[in-house]
Structures are given as C-alpha cells and as structure tokens.
C-alpha cells in the first residue's frame, strides 16, 4: 500500500534526505531490537579523539605561543654567541698584552757585554840545546831571518879550527893579542870587529856563543860571501 505522502506530495531535496534518514533510523532500531547481542559484539569501541581548536582565536593563540618560544630560544642562542665572542675577544686581548709585555721586558734587558776577543796565543819559543849543536842551530835561525848566508857545515868546521868548540877560548899570543885586542870566543873575533858586525837580537857579550857565531858569519858574508868560503884564519 503506497504512502499518501510519497504518492501525492513532491518534497524538496532536503525533505527527501530527512525522510530517508527517518526511514534508515527506523530500520536501524528494528535491527537493534532483533539482534542486540550481535551488534554489541561486532561494534569496536571508538578511539578517543583529541579535541581540535577550530576557532581562529584559539589557533592564533597557539601560533603566537610557538612564535614566542622560538623567538626566546633564538634570543638566548644569540646572547650565548655574543657572550662567547666577548670572552674570546677578551682572551685574545689579554694574550696580546702579555706578549707585548714580554717583548718590552726582553727589549729592556741590557745586552750581555761582549767578551773581549781572546788574545792570540804567544808563539812558542823554540828551544835549543845548550851545546855546540844548539848554538849553531839558533844562530842559523837568526841569520836566515836577517838574510845572511851560512850553513851548518861551514860554521862547524871553522868553529872546530878556531876554538875546538870552547866559547871561552882566547888567543893571547898572536899579533892581535900583542896589539891588545886578542881574539875571543868560538870563532875568535876581536872586540872592534864583533861590535862592527854585531847582529841585532843577540847579546853584546863577545863570549856569548850565539852572538859570537852570528857576528862572525855576518863579517864573513861581507868579506868572503859566506862563512862557507872561509877555510883558514880570516
């Protein structure tokens, strides 16, 4: 049997949904009444839904809180960075000041006095034996330094002929002795000749063996070219 409403009245669209909803609701009620236990067993409990702030005012407050939170964090981070930069700058300035102080202290420190240059070592004096070999050797060194020619053999042969190697020998019988100027020493020189041909750096004592040999060689070089050329009384 048709419903009078559906047969003769054209309902607007919204009313159609209402009627359909009523019909559906009635069917659901019938279904629940028929099988209440089955519906209760199959139905899962609905999950709790967090309420959502739908109003523009609540949404704005939430956004403002987040913005303030981020702004505070950024400001704090900036303050920490500025404090660290200040600390680093102060540390660098302190280190620079310390280095400057150290440099000034070094510059103000008086320089150590330079040690005087060491004196050159004195030449080692050559040692000569106190005998005929040593006297001739020392005399030859002096003669070479003065550029006066002579040789060991030439000196020794004349010494042995004139005095047999006695530095205190004296001739008191020849013509020189008769004239009051006897010949003396290793190479039998008279005082005037010894003084005239004395070599600087030797003794003025005619009996000194080195002085006697050196003066005699100087005289022989002047008169004969060298003591090596003298083979008899001269």
Whichever domain contains 212, its CATH number is: 1.10.530.10
Please check whether residue 200 lies inside any domain of the structure. yes
Which pLDDT belongs to residue 70? 66
Please check whether residue 155 lies inside any domain of the structure. yes
Please check whether residue 215 lies inside any domain of the structure. yes
Question: pLDDT tens per residue, the chain (234 residues)?
Answer: 444 444 434 444 444 333 344 344 343 333 333 344 443 444 445 555 555 444 555 555 666 666 667 667 777 777 788 888 888 888 888 888 887 777 777 766 666 666 777 777 777 789 999 999 999 999 999 999 999 999 999 999 999 999 999 999 999 999 999 999 999 999 999 999 999 999 999 999 999 999 999 999 999 999 999 999 999 988
- CB burial readout 138-175, b (16+ within 10 A) else e: bbbebbeeeebebeeebbbebbeebbeeebebeeeeee
Please check whether residue 39 lies inside any domain of the structure. no
Which pLDDT belongs to residue 83? 82
Kindly report each contact of residues 231-234 with a partner whose C-beta sits within 8 Å and lies 24 or more positions away, as own/partner: 231/157, 232/161
In the chain, how many domains are there? Answer: 1
Give backbone dihedrals phi and psi of 189, rounded to 5 degrees, phi first.
-105, 150
| Host domain of residue 172 | 132-229
Bridge partners of 170, per DSSP, are 184
Closest CA to 221 of 142, 143, 136, 134: 143
Locate 9 and state its tokens.
């009245």
Rounded CA gap, 220 and 176, in Å?
18
Please check whether residue 7 lies inside any domain of the structure. no
Cβ(33)–Cβ(41) below 8 Å: no
Q: Is the dihedral of CA 29, 33, 35, 41 positive or negative?
A: positive
How many Cβ atoms are within 10 Å of 219's Cβ, its own excluded?
21
Cβ(188)–Cβ(172) below 8 Å: no
Please check whether residue 207 lies inside any domain of the structure. yes
């Amino acid at each position: 049997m048709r419903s009078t409403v559906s047969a003769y009245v054209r309902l607007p669209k919204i009313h159609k949904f209402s009627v359909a909803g009523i019909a559906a609701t009635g069917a659901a009620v019938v279904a629940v009444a028929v099988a209440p236990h089955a519906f209760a067993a199959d139905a899962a409990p609905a999950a709790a839904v967090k309420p959502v702030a739908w109003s523009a005012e609540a949404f704005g407050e939430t956004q403002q809180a987040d913005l303030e939170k981020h702004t505070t964090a950024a400001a704090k981070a900036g303050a920490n960075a500025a404090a660290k930069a200040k600390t680093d700058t102060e540390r660098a300035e302190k280190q620079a000041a310390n280095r400057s102080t150290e440099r000034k202290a070094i510059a103000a420190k008086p320089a150590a006095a330079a040690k005087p240059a060491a004196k050159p070592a004195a030449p080692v004096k050559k040692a000569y034996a106190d005998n005929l070999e040593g006297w001739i050797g020392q005399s030859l060194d002096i003669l070479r330094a003065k550029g006066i020619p002579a040789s060991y053999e030439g000196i020794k042969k004349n010494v042995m002929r004139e005095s047999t190697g006695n530095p205190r020998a004296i001739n008191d019988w020849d013509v020189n002795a008769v004239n009051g100027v006897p010949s003396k020493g290793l190479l039998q020189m008279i005082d005037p000749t010894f003084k005239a041909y004395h070599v600087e750096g030797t003794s003025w004592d005619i009996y000194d063996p080195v002085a006697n040999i050196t003066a005699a060689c100087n005289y022989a070089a002047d008169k004969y070219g060298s003591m090596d050329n003298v083979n008899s009384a001269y």
